Amino acid sequence: MAQQPLLGVEEGQRRKVEGKAKVSSSPEAQAWLRKARAYVVWHLTVGRSPSADPLWKVISADVVLQHVPLPNNVHPNVVGSLFNDSRFIATGEWRPNTRPDAHARKVQCWRLR
């Protein structure tokens, strides 16, 4: 049996973009994204005190979900679209997820540009 060729990074990236667009296209998902992004901006600007938390200038999707839970009618993969916004940039830092169902997997940290 011949081995199938790898699809390549470009095809994987295309599928990622297509999947994010699909799960975030519903009005309910758009409403959650607006609310979640507003929370991110608030958290990173006025919501946290530097004296209270030295890591206050970064945030992960894990923190957002603690404060802006997903409605039951929104696909969980929409969280992947949360930081697809020109206001946010990845820090390169990864932290363990604190939700038990995430099995301590690492999540990307983000900050404002």
Q: How many domains does the chain have?
A: 1
In a domain, 1, yes or no: no
Q: What is the pTM of this model?
A: 0.80
The Cα 29–Cα 71 span in angstroms is: 9
In a domain, 60, yes or no: yes
| Contact criterion met (CB below 8 Å) for 20 and 84 | yes
Domain that holds residue 21: 9-112
The Cα 23–Cα 65 span in angstroms is: 17
Query: For residue range 40-87, what is the model confidence (pLDDT) as tens digits?
Result: 999 888 876 555 555 568 899 999 999 999 999 999 999 989 999 999
Q: Tokens 């667009």 label which residue?
A: 21
Give the pair of three-digit tokens for residue 86.
Answer: 């020109």
Residue at 95: amino acid letter: R
Q: What percent of the chain has pLDDT over 90?
A: 51
Kindly state the helix (H) or strand (E) to which residue 51 belongs, with its residue range.
Answer: none
